[in-house]
Amino acid sequence: MALGKDYATQECSIASALEVIGERWTLLVIRDAFYGVRRYNDFLVHLGIPRAVLAARLQALTAQGILEKRRYQESPPRDEYVLTDRGIALWPTLRALGLWGREHLTHVRLRFFRHADCGTELGPYGECPACGTVVPVPDVEVLPGPGLNPDPADPVSRALLKPKRLLEPVTIDPV
């Protein structure tokens, strides 16, 4: 029997959230948006995702108000996709999933997250142990960890070898 496409019998808020973010690739698109990926081609090369799937996910996330489409070039017309406040509110979810995956599955540290203002690594709840505050997403800096490939093939991964703040657009070096 084929799986149904929704959780019609569930009133649980986790089920409601999964209706929006539970499809394959969706959370990885959102993860990349936190890393500052905004453009279709950059998502494409970084994720290695089929084109039609990426287009569908971007469309769905925009329709759900998680990403906002912004025109950055008129001719030819080109749009980029930027997280809304509703999307940024998913940060603790991604953070918790990443920690769980590392502790229980991969045991490899690919990236660090630290408080940009003071350089202290974030605690498990996204807090800065030194400042005693939950760090706002734009003040979180992402850095490569020891498990990360130091010489990746795609330009987005290369851009992410340098420390950068979340949400700030990735700077892709021209090839």
Footprint of Zn ion (CB under 5 A): 115, 118, 120, 128, 130-131
Q: Which is nearer to Zn ion, 12 or 131 (CB)?
A: 131
Residue closer to Zn ion by CB (options 15, 130) is: 130
With respect to Zn ion, which residue has the nearer C-beta, 66 or 122?
Answer: 122
Query: In the bound complex, what is the minimum distance in angstroms from residue 7's beta carbon to Zn ion?
Result: 39
User: Residue 119 CB, nearest distance to Zn ion (Å)?
Assistant: 7
Which two structure tokens, joined as six digits, stand for 24?
């394959």
How far apart (Å, rounded) are the C-alpha atoms in residues 71 and 133? 35
At 37 the three-state DSSP class reads coil
Of 144, 169, 146, 167, residue with least CA distance to 91: 167
Work out how close the CB of 115 gets to Zn ion at its nearest, in angstroms, rounded to a whole number.
3
Q: Kindly tell me which of 48 and 136 has the beta carbon lying closer to Zn ion.
A: 136
Note if the bond before 76 is cis, omega within 30 degrees.
Answer: yes
Give me the least distance between CB of 120 and Zn ion, in Å please: 5
Query: Is-contact 161 149, C-beta < 8 A?
Result: no
CB of 169 closer than 8 Å to CB of 35: no
Residue placing its CB nearer to Zn ion in the complex, 42 or 141 = 141
Burial grade of 71 (CB within 10 A; 0-12, 13-18, 19 or more): exposed
Q: How far is the CB of 138 from Zn ion (least distance, A)?
A: 14
